[in-house]
Amino acid sequence: MDVHPYYQRGATFSGVEYAWIKMTDGAAVYAMKRDGRVWTADEHARRLREAGIPFGGYCYAQPGNGAAEARVLLAECDRLGGTGVAPAVDIEDNPNIYTWSTRDAVDHGRAFCAEVRRRGRRPAVYMNASKMQACRPGEWPEDPVIWVARYGRAPEASGVYRGHYDVHQFREDGNLPGSAGRVDWNQAYTLAHLTASGPGGGPTPNPNPTEDDDMITAPAGTDDHINVIVKGKGSLYLACSWGQTVDVHSILFYGDTGPGAKETGVGGGYDGGLRNPPERWTFQPNKPGPVRVPVGAAMATIRYTARHSFGIGVA
């Protein structure tokens, strides 16, 4: 979800998994004088910290210096402990403020993202679906997290947006206990928006997962592989965001091994390399699985090709 210091004042965050707070307006810290006080991001940040919920900040972009906006936003994120979610730039048209041309939006967004990258973090870019299609930040070399807004429909419906996305803002009229106004709700399709730095940081993708892991992130790769602990689980899922696919070459399951024993296959897997001709099993956003985990399996080795990172879940 994402919240505004004033319009969602009073909000509590029970049940919220992550959040963005509006922290800056252009290259200035956000502060609104109204109702006899000054409203900033501090109150929301305090409540999120106390609840242990990962959060970060976003900047409402203004014409000017995108890199300067990034520097001010990162300073606020650090001050408030909001480093658990990728710092975002919100580029949207407002007839009372500014209407972005595609060229201006791209230049501004890339300047913001490059500065965030220079400081060792991964940025996020928020746009509505049509502007996202025109600007295509998913193809920028800065590789930002893609946060796309379209209410009531999937971003890709009717061809409005044809790229991948990590987070979809799907409604603007949600409810949150205590909030003075309606709330924007978001659905994450990857873990890309979460970081592992600072208070409230999110999970770090683990190349050697333990039995307690329910979801890990596999990096992009060509004919790469990852091992996943599946002991005691019944199903395996591969989750990618819209506009992405994961091509699986093979999923092989192994059971426990005793002292001195060799690895033991338990069957029930898939090996497209043994087919004639070789085949790949393609996972899509709306077809994540499940793959049945055979009885006795302790580990799965997944060999895959994917242009973007994706989630692997066991249940």
Q: pLDDT truncated to tens, each residue of the chain (315 aa)?
A: 899 999 999 999 988 999 999 999 999 999 999 999 999 999 999 999 999 999 999 999 999 999 999 999 999 999 999 999 999 999 999 998 899 999 999 999 999 999 999 999 999 999 999 999 999 999 999 999 999 999 999 999 988 999 999 999 999 999 999 999 999 999 998 889 998 654 444 433 333 333 334 567 787 888 888 888 888 888 888 887 767 788 898 898 888 765 555 555 665 667 766 666 677 888 887 777 788 888 888 888 899 898 877 888 888
Tokens of 159: 């061809």
Give pLDDT, residue 45: 97
Q: How many Å is the maximal CA-CA distance in the chain?
A: 74
The distance of Cα 250 from the centroid of its chain, to the nearest Å, equals 26
CB atoms within 10 A of CB 232: 10
Nearest-angstrom CA–CA distance, 280 and 257: 29
Q: What are residue 30's phi and psi, to 5 degrees?
A: -75, 130
Cross-strand partners of 283? 246
Cβ-contact 189, 240 below 8 angstroms: yes
Q: Could you tell me if 124 and 86 are in contact, meaning their C-beta atoms sit under 8 angstroms apart?
A: yes
Full-model pTM: 0.66
Domains of the chain: 2-188 (3.20.20.80), 215-314 (2.60.290)
Q: Which position has the token pair 């991948």?
A: 164
DSSP-assigned letter for residue 79:
H
Angle CA(172)–CA(173)–CA(177) in degrees, nearest 5? 120
pLDDT at position 224, please? 86
> For position 258, what pLDDT does the model report?
57
